[in-house]
A = this chain, B = another copy of it.
Amino acid sequence: MKHLSEITNRLIGQPMFALLAKIKEMERTGEKIIHFEIGDPDFDSPDSVVQAVKNSLDNKETHYTNSMGLWDLRQEICSFTEKSLGFKPSVEQVLVIPANAIIDFVIRCVVNPGEEVIIPDPGFPTYRAVLNYTGIKAKPVPMNPNDIRKAITDKTRLIIINSPNNPTGLMLTKEEIAEVVAIAKENDIYLLSDEVYSRITYDKVHYSPSIYDQCKERTIILNSFSKIYSMSGWRLGYAIGPEPVIKKMGLLLETIISCFPPFIQRAGITALKYDVNERNKELRRRRDILINGLNSIGIKCLKPDGAFYAFAKTDLTQDEILERAHVAVLDGKYFGEQGKGYIRLCYASASIDEIKKAINQIKTIL
């Protein structure tokens, strides 16, 4: 008899998407909502990047391409990595792939059902969503070496870190990164470093665990064009890792989606040359106004070191804030146990005027 498979009982998707439907419905009825709910900058994708797609389409780059990614883009990623991290991976260590899929593919390629993965709590919900449906045990812990060490068992196969962290904006120090690398090495397990926000930092320097093994032994870098270049709809990202892992991830990509659109990959080459300084300055301005504003009305909030989220302690829920203040935020609970009692506000998706207005509107419901 027909049935849905066992994994479908464990599919949770990205639960905040339900909130989006509610917001859309309110807007449809004429309500004006200020948006802080999704990690999607309100900047446009760079003009040069859009032009690169158009050129690629005019050059008829519309056919199947190498499953691993365009050679030219992978080489550009290698050079970019040399400039930003100080080592140059081989082209064979690079796979072009939507960043979200890296989480799914890395987990499925290095962990078996019944084994364990350590993830940050609070942390990006997709880590948990993938572990959930694949039948692999998530060990959510606060992102620091002590808690990570305590969570290690003989079933641990992978540690995931995310610095700067979504949702807290917290960054691991050089010493903490070294310590996490040591833990992974002692236990001979893989380390997935989600570096989506590595170039959106304010006062501190980003450190990557990849500098210790140049992604040859155990470190896999996850990177994305979505946040830094405001290209969320393009689904363009890349993984850098040990060749045997990258090769298997490439086979999985070949099996599931054959290859990634070549004209979007051309846009990636152009994006890597785009100067993000002005965008980061604007994000810093928004951060300062939002954090000061929240603290001024009694909602405690630390200044994030990187990324573009305020993680604020409050008894207010997203539903109360949405319905009564017309401000869309996310409940911290989506990010794990440690996120309960917090809300996350993305300040990349609201202008400075909107941020000021939102603070006033939240103040009225306190």
Interface residues, chain A, CB within 8 Å of chain B? 1-8, 11-14, 17, 38, 40, 44-45, 50, 53-54, 57-58, 60-65, 67, 98, 100-101, 104, 108-112, 126, 129-130, 133, 157, 188-190, 218, 230-235, 244-245, 248, 250-252, 254-264
Contact = CB atoms under 8 A, between A and B. Distances in A.
A233 B126 contact: no
A248 B4 contact: yes
A5 B108 contact: yes
A5 B111 contact: yes
Q: Which of A6, A7, A248, A258 counts the most chain B CB atoms within 10 A?
A: A258
B256 A104 contact: yes
A104 B53 CA distance: 29
A260 B235 contact: yes
B5 A101 contact: no
Q: Which of A53, A64, A157, A234 counts the most chain B CB atoms within 10 A?
A: A64
B248 A261 contact: no
A105 to B, nearest CB: 8
Contact of A233 (B8, B64, B129, B231): B64
Given A5-B111, A264-B261, A17 B53 contact: no
Q: Which of A4, A12, A40, A61 counts the most chain B CB atoms within 10 A?
A: A4
A98 B64 CA distance: 13
Contact of A157 (B2, B44, B244, B251): B2
Contacts of A230: 62
Contacts of A1: 188-189
Given A254-B13, A257-B100, A233 B62 contact: yes
8 contacts: A1-B189, A5-B108, A13-B67, A17-B67, A53-B57, A98-B256, A233-B259, A261-B264
A112 B135 CA distance: 13
Contact of A14 (B50, B190, B258): B258
A293 B340 CA distance: 71
Given A101-B256, A264-B261, A232 B62 contact: yes
A235 B248 contact: no
A283 B62 CA distance: 20
